[in-house]
Amino acid sequence: MYHIGVGGDDVGLDGFTDEELAAAAAAGDPEAFEVLVTRMAPIVLRFVRRMVGDAQTGEDLAQETVLALWRGLPEFAFRSTVRTWVLGIAHRKVVDHYRRRRDVPAPDTRFADLEAPEPLPAEAAEQTALRDALRTELSQMQATPRAVWWLREVEGLSLAEIATVLSLTDGSVRGHLQRSRAFLTTRLAPWKPGASVHAGEPSAEPRSERGQR
């Protein structure tokens, strides 16, 4: 049996990869599973909270994901990374949640006509005002582009990994990412360095005087 730290040996589990921990947990090592959950829980919780917009529901779905992780480990075939697999479970829990509410988001058409400019600057997202605005704009997105953007920009998954998590093609993921970046860049333009007005504030220049001279 594949077991990490047997016999009370002082073996640090933090040095093992997610895949090694998953293999050990699948073989019956509870300590390995505990460390694996410690690693995965923050990622899962951030994702589901952002997708459902409610802290308590997010907690519940994260708990369901961990339970499904435990039950599914013996059948996990390592055809993807553990992180990709776990986020796929979390995504299915989110979809099930919306289905239970009979509120499955409609296919996305919101960003169809937008071009894809440069991605949202990561350093600007550190500003409090921009962070609050970003949270608001993300909540207005359809579920799929929101998930794609979050998994790429926050969790750092590759396009192929996101396609696996969300059961999409690579091309579909790329399109959703480009359109969501375009949407956020446009909506958050007032918070870019050098911008003189904030969203919802009128311009200091009267409309009637624009373009004169």
Give tens-digit pLDDT for 13-57.
Answer: 778 899 999 999 999 899 999 999 999 999 999 999 989 888 899
Token readout for 99 is 């289905």
Bigger pLDDT: 198 vs 28 = 28
CATH number, domain with residue 153:
1.10.10.10
Give tens-digit pLDDT for 132-164.
Answer: 777 788 888 888 999 999 999 889 999 999 999
In a domain, 40, yes or no: yes
**Cβ distance 94 to 81 under 8 Å?**
no
- Alpha carbons within 13 A on the beta-carbon side of 128: 0
**Cβ distance 21 to 35 under 8 Å?**
yes
Burial readout 80-115 (b: 16 or more C-beta within 10 A, e: otherwise)? bbbbbbbbbbbbbbbbebeeeeeeeeeebeebeeee
In a domain, 208, yes or no: no
- Per-residue pLDDT at 186: 85
Give tens-digit pLDDT for 60-104.
Answer: 999 999 999 999 998 888 888 999 999 999 999 999 998 887 654
- N- to C-terminal Cα distance for the chain? 81
Give tens-digit pLDDT for 6-15.
Answer: 334 434 677 8
- Alpha carbons within 13 A on the beta-carbon side of 64: 17
Same domain, 92 and 129: no
Residue 65 Cα to chain centre, angstroms? 15
Residues contacting residue 121 through CB under 8 Å, at least 6 positions apart: 192
- Per-residue pLDDT at 103: 52
In a domain, 200, yes or no: no
Q: How many independent structural domains does the chain possess?
A: 2
In a domain, 61, yes or no: yes
Range of the domain at 13: 6-100
- Per-residue pLDDT at 195: 55
In a domain, 113, yes or no: no
In angstroms, the CA 17 to CA 83 distance is 11
- Per-residue pLDDT at 94: 92
Same domain, 132 and 171: yes
Same domain, 96 and 130: no
In a domain, 27, yes or no: yes
